[in-house]
Chain A
Amino acid sequence: MPISELAICLRRSDYSETSLVVRMMTREHGQASLMAKGVKRPKSRFGGSIDLLSVGQAVYSLPRENSVSTMGLLMSWDQTEAYPCLRTDLLRHAVALTAAELLARLTEELDPHPASFDAMIRLLRELQGGEPPVRRLAEFGRALLTDIGLTPDFQTCAHCGQPTGPGEFPAARGLLFAGPRSGVLCPRCQPGPGESTVAISRNLQQFFIENTQITGRLALEFVRWLVYYVQHQIGRELNSAATLERAIAAALIAHARSAQPTDSHDNDK
């Protein structure tokens, strides 16, 4: 039975001269690997090729339960939204790719996460709408972690179990976040020998505990922490991490060159 729903293209790879295999994130069925037959033909019924990060109405069928194939069939694709900013702004481009990789790595095939899907669509629309990209990526990251149940405990020390809230220690004393333990270490506890940690500010802790709006410099700290945390969760590097850092560096250089800081990126610095 064909399914028709909104989908985001998270990955595409050549299958043959004319066909693609696409990894779609769908709202109601999660990720699905689909064969798009003949999509690269000039007069294909898909109306042009399916690009990465494009959003549209997909009509597809999933493999039968007893089928040996794990790939479904994309029957039609009608792109419903376009985000030209991803093609003209390096930072927005990198932010969208990072979000797509986070979504792809942290959710499973045919495991629906409508809230995460909606957060991704919201992020793409906000990027197109001129919102500060790093801040929007941070909001997306928090929504994604919350939806899939991966939000770490920021209130209790991962080593001694004592509370680590702002009332427990002077706010000036920062905390260490230990990736292998998926939690914070209080100022009394030290990481184990060679244990990977990253320093986090009290503001970042507050961002999680009080669900506050993220602002300015904190967004950048959050995004770097998010990449660190997710890499520990999935046990491998995020491919998009280097691209994101390069884009942030380029935006900072462009900002420094610019005499009039009117760019929307400024809000992220």
Chain B
Amino acid sequence: MSGYTQTMERLIAELGRLPGIGARSAERIAFHLLKAKTDDAMRLADAIRDLKTRTRHCSRCYNLTEADPCPICSDPARDARTICVVEQPKDLMNIESTGTFRGVYHVLMGHLAPLEGVEPADLTIDPLLRRVESEGVREVILGTNPTIEGDGTALLIASLLAGREGVQVTRLARGLPSGSQLEYANKSMLADAISGRQKMG
């Protein structure tokens, strides 16, 4: 028995289930909400409710959206024949924030993890293949994470797209981050940088 009211205990328990929030932090947030103005607390409650009721996945690219198709898919100025494949909506946001990519996206909703039992059927690989088939796609850019599992996912997609006429499959470049120093690069980064070296001049 903690001595808190049932409502308070319930809130602390729910907050404690959030990533990165332990029991002490959950308690602190619960007290903060208790002390906050009712309007402020209700705005948070409304934001959570709206997130769950209004936000969904785009039926084409699986990005998070409130309108279907999402603003990126429905933007006529974007090149719908170039698809960048990413693992998560937040990866899409990161690429989008660079402002350099004018194609469209496809979110896989994860990556293959054979040792954890995550198989192709658990991802949106089949819808991707259907899009490539039906939307006249010319280039698929594989933007999965540069981890063994992300690369394995990219390799599988590349093998499934192999032999399709007129579809070029590319992968995001990798190696040394700009502004870094060779001295602090690990072996994988250096191996990537050497194998992905580019001609100059």
Contact = CB atoms under 8 A, between A and B. Distances in A.
B55 interface: no
B19 to A, nearest CB: 7
A231 interface: no
Contacts of A226: none
Contacts of A262: none
Interface in A20-53: 47-49, 51-53
A11 B119 CA distance: 17
A149 interface: no
Interface in B111-166: 112, 114-117, 119-120, 146-149, 151-152, 155-156, 158-159, 162-163
A82 B115 contact: no
Contact of A17 (B20, B155, B192): B20
Contacts of A82: 187-188, 190-191
Contacts of B119: 242-243
B162 to A, nearest CB: 7
A48 B193 CA distance: 15
B149 A52 contact: yes
B195 interface: yes
Interface residues of B, number: 31
Nearest to A53: B148
B195 A239 contact: no
A239 B112 CA distance: 11
Contacts of A240: 114-115
B189 interface: yes
B184 interface: yes
A86 B117 contact: no
B186 interface: yes
A178 interface: no
Contact of B151 (A47, A81, A86, A243): A86
A110 to B, nearest CB: 20
Contacts of A90: 152, 155-156, 158-159
Nearest to A254: B162
A235 interface: no
Contacts of A79: 186-188
Contacts, number: 85
A78 B120 CA distance: 33
Contacts of A49: 147
Interface string A56-100: 000000000000000000000001111010111110011001001
Contacts of B192: 84
A198 interface: no
Contact of B115 (A54, A89, A97, A253): A97
B165 to A, nearest CB: 13
Interface string B74-89: 0000000000000000
A101 B114 CA distance: 9
A36 B116 CA distance: 19
Contacts of B159: 90, 250, 253-254
A82 B190 CA distance: 9
Nearest to B22: A16
A239 B114 contact: yes
A87 B151 contact: yes
B66 to A, nearest CB: 27
A5 to B, nearest CB: 18
Nearest to A14: B19
Contact of A48 (B20, B152, B189): B189
A239 B185 CA distance: 33
Given A97-B114, A101-B115, A239-B115, A88 B155 contact: yes
Interface of B: 19-20, 112, 114-117, 119-120, 146-149, 151-152, 155-156, 158-159, 162-163, 184-192, 195
17 contacts: A47-B186, A48-B186, A53-B148, A54-B188, A79-B187, A79-B188, A84-B188, A94-B114, A97-B115, A97-B148, A101-B115, A240-B114, A243-B114, A243-B119, A246-B156, A250-B159, A254-B159
Q: Give the 6 A-B CB pairs with smallest separation, nearest first.
A: A87-B151, A243-B114, A82-B191, A90-B155, A250-B159, A52-B148
